[in-house]
Amino acid sequence: MDTLAPATFDVARIRQDFPILSQPQARGRPLVFLDSGASAQKPRVVIDAMVRCMETAYANVHRGAYRLSELATNSYEAAREATARFINAVDAREIVFTRNSTEAMNLVAHGWGRGVMKPGQAVLISELEHHANIVPWQMLRDDKGNELRVCRITDSGELDLDDLEMKLADGKVGLVAIAHMSNVLGTVTPVERIVAMAHAHGAKVLLDGSQAAVHRRVDVQAIGCDFYCFTGHKLYGPTGIGVLWGKPEHLDRMPPMLGGGDMISYVTFEKSEWAPVPAKFEAGTPAIVEAVGLHAAIDYVTAIGMPAIEAHERSLVDHATSTLATVPGLTLLGAAQDRGGVFAFALDAAHPHDLATLLDRAGIAVRAGRHCAEPLHTRFGLENGTTRASFGLYTTREEIDILAQALTEAREFFR
């Protein structure tokens, strides 16, 4: 039986908050936006907050001794405090603003990987990772010689925890870097168990929460990880702003990745001394307006309630699992017991790019390709990639039905 979202979750009313969803597409068709996993649409409150900042309270932050600068600084730091509350950080100073999750993971690769990890230590990732959680560790390996280990996943798309344990057993892994939720399989990884296993073998843990933070409550204290990152544009906020949370003792040990203004306490031609965390990692003028937008997005989803959003998504996942299974010739990628609203699939009669183009003519926006996860597609023998439908809090069951019907018709067309 489908899990029903709470009666208080009114998806029809929520959709009214997103101006773009009322815009007609080609041939006057309504927009069926099923690519939120790449970047989510923006509610009016986020748009308005950013415009209001630019119109009434914009200046550079941390620098000006005048009222507008103080207002902008207060807004920027209020966004940091809201982000800390959102993931249950102990202190707002544990929050570092970056451009996106990719930059956050590169910051850990640079600061922790190059600055703290010892020669001979390994980094352990998995087969389900996004390129942003693969390439920085390859660069570290090639630069510093640290081994890169890869944990297998099962045919159902879940982490092989026995393989994870085996690769941790020799105590040489310094850092485990794992996605909290796969952007292709929808698999939600057992992060508390992963952290416990890693810590038992002396390894720290970085979690890529780019997908998970959108769909369910994240509590970094309960999870127990050492680093956690996510990005604003998937959380109904703007592009250009991401988040790295880290335990203070780890952030203190890490050298900065970028040098310049505002990340120093003093500078001479002979030497520089870094500012305290988080300023140490935020060189130059930051994403001021984007931070305001992120704050508005966090307030928006918090007001709706992450438990309600998660329940709505579970209902969508149940419906999509059963509905898409009825489409002839369709193969769903992954069958994890705990999965979020991401469905990658292959249709036997069509190349993913051709299929996405045909769906677009019907007003349905999906992603096609390998979704920045080429090794994962290779693991499943899908070198051409897949088509992916990913849900947001504004997604409806009717949109899933429209997708299923369009896929059935597309198969007949391509055949």
Q: Report the relative pairing of strands 227-231 and 386-390 from DSSP bridges.
A: unpaired
Catalytic residue among 151, 225, 229, 372: 372
| Residue 221: partners with Cβ closer than 8 Å, 6 or more residues away | 88, 89, 90
- 358, exposed or middle or buried, with CB in 10 Å at 0-12, 13-18, 19+? middle
Q: Pairing mode, if any, of strands 227-231 and 204-208?
A: parallel
CA separation for the pair 340, 395 (Å, rounded): 13
HSE on the CB side for 322, CA within 13 Å? 9
* Bond prior to 286 in cis (omega within 30° of 0): no
Closest CA to 291 of 234, 238, 228: 238
Half-sphere exposure of residue 318: CA atoms within 13 angstroms, side-chain side = 11
Angle formed at CA 211 by CA 209 and CA 213, multiple of 5 degrees: 60
Dihedral (CA of 101, 89, 70, 277) sign: negative
Q: Is 372 a catalytic residue?
A: yes
Calculate the alpha carbon distances from 197 to 137, 190, 224 in Å: 21, 11, 11
Catalytic residues: 372
